[in-house]
Amino acid sequence: GSFVSGGDLVNGHASYAYGFGWLDLGIKAGLIGIECVPSAPESAFSPDLTAFEFEEDMPAELFDKLFEKTNRYQRMLTAALSSVKTAPDIESPLHKFAESIAEITGDYLDSGREHLAAERYVNALAHFSYGYGLLDGAVRCGHFIITGNRDLFTV
């Protein structure tokens, strides 16, 4: 079963945002046609940092798990971002694409930190998870070379 049907709302929330990071990478990289995404807007990929803003909080009994996972994902995304370098040649158009993915990932890391500092853990976890999925997908597609902490990636 899924995380949510099993009652694990924290991992369900994190995996939802992580999966969207992969999905958006696939769309932006041209691997997934926008017509394949039901009711997709004109430009489905957007580094709009408000896309993962949630009004609801987790139930109080899940706070410890949410707190731990949010802080762990911040550490993991920080380490992952510093453990890669762009793979494509600097003259290749893919180099600019990889740089934009690194920049967007950094933006999600920063916005997640802002949510974390404001104790908005649900939003912080979503931002860290989305950025991590985006970067992990880009590594898997060959846009980045892993320079350290290989265990942080799904390659």
CA distance 22 to 59: 27
The answer as to whether 55 is a domain residue is no
Query: Is 52 within the bounds of a domain?
Result: no
Q: SS3 of 43, please?
A: coil
Q: Contact, 69 vs 10, CB < 8 A?
A: yes
Report if residue 3 sits inside a domain: no
Residue 20's Cβ-side half-sphere holds a number of Cα atoms within 13 Å equal to 21
Q: What is the pLDDT of residue 43?
A: 45
Whole-prediction pTM:
0.88
Question: Which range marks the domain in which residue 69 is found?
Answer: 9-40+60-152
* Residue 105 within a domain: yes
At residue 155, the pLDDT reads 84
Q: Is residue 48 part of a domain?
A: no
Residue 35 placed within a domain: yes
Please indicate, yes or no, if residue 46 is contained in any of the structural domains. no
3-state secondary structure of 153: coil
- 122 vs 107: CA distance, rounded Å: 17
pLDDT in tens, the chain (155 residues): 588 888 889 999 999 999 999 999 998 888 887 765 555 554 445 556 666 677 677 888 999 999 999 999 999 999 999 999 999 999 998 999 999 999 999 999 999 999 999 999 999 999 999 999 999 999 999 999 999 999 999 98
Give me 150's structure tokens: 């290989």
Residue pair 52/127 in contact (Cβ under 8 Å)? The answer is yes
Q: Give the chain's domain count.
A: 1
For helices 93-117 and 9-28, the axis angle rounded to 10 degrees is 150
Does some domain include residue 23?
A: yes
